[in-house]
Amino acid sequence: AQPSPPPPPPPPPYCDACTNIPASCSTPPCEGCLSPLVAEEPQCAEAQSVCFPLCDEYIMCELCPSMSPADRDFCSSICIGCEPFVPGKACGGQGTTDACTSRCAPYVMCAPDFGRSCFPKPPSPPPAPVTARKDPHLYLPHGGRADFRGAHDTVFCLLSAQNVSFNVKIEESDFHWSKRLVHGTKMSAAYWVVRTNAGRVLRVEYNATSRNGGLVSEKDHREVHIRDSEPPLILDNVQVELIARKLVVTIAGKWRLSATRSAFPFGNLAKNRNKLLLDIQVEALYDADHDSVAPHGIFGQAYDGDNVGISGKVDTDRSGETTTAAQAEGAIEGTWLDYKLASPFSTAFKYSRFDELAAKHRDVEKLRGARMRAPADAGGVVGATDVPAID
C-alpha cells in the first residue's frame, strides 16, 4: 500500500495571505477579522478600527454569517490567497474538489490574488470573476475598478448586449462600522430581460428581501417562481435557477448573470442586523470583446477588445461619518445619468445594444481613468457588491 500523502499546510492567517501588508495588519487580532461578515471574536471589535481601514484591499473572501465553525475550518483555505475562480474549482488542500464544491461553494466568493497561490496550486482557472460588490464597488472586465453610488430608488443598466439587458435598482442605505458610519447605497433588486433564440422575451426579477425566490414572467403566460432546491427553469436557450441565495440566469454560449442575497457587513451589530443587499456577477461565456455587437452598460462597455483595464473614481474619505459620491467617473462613457432606466425592465438608454445588429466598442480615448494591462485571467466574470469600502 502506498503511504498516505502528507497533510496540506495550514492556510495562512487572513492578514498574512498577501504581500506588502501594513505591520498593524499582521497582528493576531486581525486573523479572521478581515472578512466583514466574520467579525465575531471579541478581539476583532478592538482591532476593527485599526485593521479594517488599512486592510480593505487585502480582504480575500466573504463568508456567509450562517457558516458553522466546522464548515468555516474546512472551507476557509479555499479563499485565502487564491487566485480568482468560480467557487469549487480549487480546494486549497482541504479534501477533494468534489467535497469542496458540495460543502463550501455556497459560502465562497474569492477576491483577486495578491501574490499567493492556493494550497496546493490548482489547475489554471477559468477567466476570473469580475464583480460588483457592496456599495456598489465595481470590478470590471480587464481588471478595472470603480465605485458607483447611483441614485436612490433608481434603476441602472449594468450590461446591455444583443438580446440581453441586466439591470439593478439602487437604494440609499447606511452602513455602520465599529467606529464609522457610511451613508452609501446598495443594490436592492436585479432585473433581467432576455430574448431567447426562439424570439420569446423573458423577464426575471430577484429582490434582496424576497423570501419566495426569483420570478420569471412572459407575456400571455403565468408567472413562475424560482426556488432553491427545485430544478432549473429552462426555456429555449435560457436557464434560470436559484442556488442557495444566488439567482443565476444563463444564456447558453453567451452569458451567466447572477445576483446573490448577502447580509450587511458587521451583521453582528444591532443596526446592521437582518439587513440584506445584492451582490452581482457577470460572466461572459464567449469572446465578448470581439462581438460584432459590442456590449455596453456600466459593466458591459469594458469588453472593449483592447485587453486594458480602465479604472474610475472611487470613494477615499475615511473619516468617521461619510457619504459616498463616486459615480465611476473616468471608467464609463458619457456620464452616470446616461445609464439610468425608466423602469426595471426597460432596455432603452443612450448606449442600448438590446435590439442592435451591429455596434462598435466605446471610444476609450475619451476616458480619463487610470490604465492597467489586464491580468491573464481577467475579464471573464465581472461584478458589483454593496458592502461599502472599509478603506
Q: Which tens digit of pLDDT belongs to each residue from 144-171? A: 999 999 999 999 999 999 999 999 999 9
Same domain, 62 and 135: no
Identify whether 68 is part of a domain.
yes
Contact 140, 384 (CB under 8 A): no
CB atoms within 10 A of CB 191: 23
Q: Average pLDDT of 314-324?
A: 90
Res. 284 pLDDT band, cuts 50 70 90:
very high
In-domain check, residue 326: yes
Specify the number of domains making up the chain.
2
158 and 102 part of one domain: no
Both 205 and 333 in one domain: the answer is yes
- Do the domain assignments include residue 117? no
Residue 263: which pLDDT band, with cuts at 50, 70 and 90? confident
> Considering 48, 73, 107, which residue would you say is the last residue of a domain?
107
Residues 362, 365, 368, 373: is their CA dihedral positive or negative? positive
Average pLDDT, stretch 174-203? 93
Both 285 and 336 in a single domain? yes
What CA–CA distance (Å, rounded) separates 47 from 30?
A: 6
Reported as a single tens digit per residue, the pLDDT across 287-314 is: 999 999 999 999 999 999 998 999 999 9
Residue 82 pLDDT greater than 70, yes or no: no
**pTM (two decimals):** 0.68
Residue of 205, 349, 175 lying closest to 266 (CA atoms): 175
What pLDDT, on a 0 to 100 scale, did the predictor assign at position 272? 80
DSSP summary character for residue 270: T
- How far the first Cα of the chain sits from its last, in Å, is 53
68 and 190, same structural domain? no
Mean pLDDT computed over every residue of the chain: 74
Domain that holds residue 271: 130-385
DSSP H stretches of helix in the chain? 42-55, 69-79, 97-104, 297-300
Instruction: Mark whether 233 and 339 lie in a shared domain.
Output: yes
- Classify residue 125: in a domain, yes or no: no
Note if the bond before 120 is cis, omega within 30 degrees: yes
Same domain, 205 and 272: yes
Statement: residue 26 has pLDDT above 70? no
Task: Supply the pLDDT for residue 337.
Answer: 98
For residue 2, being part of any structural domain is answered with: no
Half-sphere exposure of 210 (CA within 13 A, CB side): 23
pLDDT tens digits for range 30-47: 444 434 333 334 444 444
Using only the alpha carbons of the chain, give its radius of gyration.
20
* The Cα angle at residue 210 between residues 207 and 215, in degrees rounded to 5: 70
Q: Assess if residue 390 is contained within a domain.
A: no
Residue 101 shares a structural domain with residue 247:
no
233 and 100 in one domain?
A: no
Helix%, strand%, coil% for the chain, nearest 5:
15, 30, 55
Which of 84-88, 206-210, 228-232, 269-273 has the weakest average pLDDT?
84-88
Q: Are 146 and 310 in contact (CB under 8 A)?
A: no
- Whether 32 maps to a domain, the answer reads yes
In a domain, 266, yes or no: yes
Question: What is residue 101's predicted lDDT score, i.e. its pLDDT?
Answer: 45
Sequence-distant (6+) residues with CB within 8 A of 150 are 136, 156, 170, 185, 327, 336
pLDDT category, 16, cuts 50, 70, 90? very low
